[in-house]
Amino acid sequence: MAPKTATMAELWTHWQKRAQRGAHPFQFAPYEDVESAMAKIIPVFEGDHEASTREFSVVAAPHRERARAFEAKGDKAAARDSYLKAFALYRMARFPTQFTEGKREAYRNSQDCLIRAHALGPVPIRRVEMPFKGRAGEGDKVIGYLRMPPGKKKVPVLVAWAGVDSFKEDFLGATDPLLERGAATLTIDMPGTGDSPIVGSEDGERQWTAVFDWIAKQPELDASRVCAWGGSFGGYWATKVAHTHREYLAGMVSQGGGAHLVFQHDWVAMSQERAGLPWGISEMRGNSFGRPSYDGWYEFAPRLSLLDQGVLDKPCAPLLCINGVKDVLTPIEDYYIVLRHGNAKTARFYPGGHMGSSPEGVDEPKPVIVAWLSEKLGL
């Protein structure tokens, strides 16, 4: 039987301060709209999980209409601001992941608003399709968002992805400092999330071959200077890809990712309760592997251990491991295991929680990550 999870009301006591300061997952979301939606969601959520999809879509729609009106009048700044607000609220409608068709529709709406917002800014998003030779029933392309630094030629590349609740649209902001320093940024979705052509599996890292091969064929991109950055559950894939695709990489950042202990039964059970999420951390993680239930994830998860797969004892690209020692989603001990195997790595651990964040929401790791990646990319 699955351990007890939090109620939506309990989550809101934690989320409210984050919403007020526009922290994850509320970037660009007007607080008054979030508060209005949550007031309607909380009383019914336990019996109607689609309430969040419905109510956040309701408050998103007027911002989208205002954006279109501003755009028609030629007011690009106001249109961009409204599109970003609509994106943020549609993002909350699809949050945490695409469990239902309603959430998939909300995700498509959020994508449309984000791309339109960036088209009105200084650096537009170029949606790219990278050919992927999948298996029967899988997609045939990896979709990414490419941004090029203005006026640059033959630039280094940062490939970035996040976890089970943050998709390529949401990780754009994290890559801004590298774009500003002169790198192209390419955000993608990890397997089983967003537009990924595959669900997660023991060999889901094959998706990255398509990405790196595509980069090598682009005349404006320098395939000899490619780094990557995976955050949250995406840090698991970052650690794995650093080993399986090391020949493509000048460096890899794994932030907040697991490797072995996070997939063991005792941690699966403990994190389900400690995460404080009404939809369940196991259901989120399992959904990205085609197993969207606690029992399904509990049974499958141990097969993903990088230690048991023998991955960690292989050589890897330069690897920076980042996390907080009080992470309740992924045990810090997993990075200790990574550091004890294979060739030497670099690590920086913080006193805070998941991904190294502080209780006040201060993103201490980011300057360290940006400086490390800049060095590896030759910026």
Q: What is residue 108's predicted lDDT score, i.e. its pLDDT?
A: 97
* Pairwise CA distance, residues 35 & 102, whole Å: 21
Query: 358 pLDDT exceeds 90?
Result: no
Query: 103 pLDDT exceeds 70?
Result: yes
This prediction's pTM: 0.96
- Edge-to-edge strands, sheet with 251-255: 126-131, 141-147, 184-187, 155-161, 221-231, 251-255, 319-324, 346-350
pLDDT band at 102; cut points 50, 70, 90: very high
Q: What is residue 360's predicted lDDT score, i.e. its pLDDT?
A: 60
Residue-wise pLDDT for 114-152, tens only, equals: 999 999 999 999 999 999 999 999 999 999 999 999 988
* Chain region(s) in the chain for CATH 3.40.50.1820: 124-379
* Chain region(s) in the chain for CATH 1.20.1440: 1-121
Q: What is residue 5's predicted lDDT score, i.e. its pLDDT?
A: 83
Please give the CATH architecture assigned to the domain spanning 124-379.
3-Layer(aba) Sandwich (3.40)
State which CATH number among 1.20.1440, 1.10.287, 3.30.530, 3.30.750 fits the domain covering 1-121: 1.20.1440
pLDDT band at 57; cut points 50, 70, 90: very high
* Mean of all residue pLDDT scores within the chain: 95
Q: What is residue 70's predicted lDDT score, i.e. its pLDDT?
A: 98
Residue-wise pLDDT for 10-51, tens only, equals: 999 989 999 999 999 999 999 999 999 999 999 999 888 899
Cβ within 8 Å of residue 225, ≥6 positions away: 156, 157, 250, 377, 378
